[in-house]
Amino acid sequence: MSVIKTNFTVTEFVFLGLSSQPKIQVTLFIMFLFFYLLIVVGNMIIITIIQIEPCLHTPMYFFLTNLSFLDICYTSTNVSQMLSNMVGKKTISFSGCATQMYFSLSFGMIECVLLGVMAYYRYVAICHPLHYTAIMDQSTYIQLAAISWFISFLSSMVINVLTLSLPYCGPNVLNLFFCEVPSVLRLACTDNSFTEMVVFIFSIIIVFIPFLLIVVPYARILVSILRMWSASGRHKALSTCASHLTVVALFYGTAIFMYMRPQSKSSQAGGKIIAVFYTVITPMLNPLIYSLRNQDVKGAIKRAIAKQRT
């Protein structure tokens, strides 16, 4: 597809998607529809199990409920657009693109902050168990979750207002399968260095700083675990932390690569692969990681199945 710069104001964007071959598109549609259903069903199961099992009504599983709900919202915002493009028009209106960018970035930012909050919770639970109930009471962890949602929606609004205030007069082709700030910024027909700097600063605040705040507590957590006398206690603590660190590595690794690399050196093909990871693969793996590596969740699922059989 040739891309020609013109002087008209962009009213819609065209997606190149993952492939232009009809047969490949059908295969991709079936595959990603299956992945999307796994994400929705898997996360809904986790949310339901946590709600019906009184033993899971703890701060950790409260945050996990938020994380599962976020994964459903995040993938519904992006993957639904990708699936629609594979079977219908590969276009989206300017307002539709703006809406998708806002919610997609908001949900992604919330997950970044929430993973940092979950790391703080585990640090308190493992390193300061005697002060845990005083530090992490119900009002505290509800407030932490609410703050995560608020600052992320506010930050996303700032970034999107700056991005959409730039003039877009052509081209209007996005070499991706959904609207995202870095890919849309490349289409601005004016100097966008200020907006890119703002995006980079917010990426440091919302992505990189929480990542560092995860690394430091987990280093102290690891030291505390290694000092435990009980082998079973060490195994349980390591198993719980390993599931969280796996999610952190998958999500933060791809987010940092996408938002904190120089745009001029970006590989668009590589960007598509990375986008698939953090929009589809990571949310799909989250329920498997948290259920298969968590004895409490597995036990709750077994009890729920047993109740259904009786």
What value does the mean pLDDT take over residues 70-81?
89
What was the pLDDT predicted at 298? 73
3-state secondary structure of 19: coil
Of the pLDDT bands very low, low, confident and very high (cuts 50, 70, 90), residue 5 is very low
Domain range 20-309, its CATH number among 3.30.2130.10, 1.20.140.10, 1.20.1740.10, 1.20.1070.10? 1.20.1070.10
Highest mean pLDDT: which of 24-28, 225-229, 256-260? 24-28
Helix (H) or strand (E) run with residue 51 in it = helix 22-52
d(C-alpha 310, C-alpha 302), whole Å: 12
Q: Give me the mean pLDDT over the 103-118 stretch.
A: 86
3-state secondary structure of 174: strand
Is residue 10 pLDDT above 70, yes or no?
Answer: yes
Least confident of 162-171, 224-233, 277-286: 224-233
Torsion, CA 208, CA 214, CA 216, CA 220, rounded to 10: -170
Q: Does the pLDDT of residue 266 top 60, yes or no?
A: no
Q: Which residues contact 147 (CB under 8 A, 6 or more apart)?
A: 113
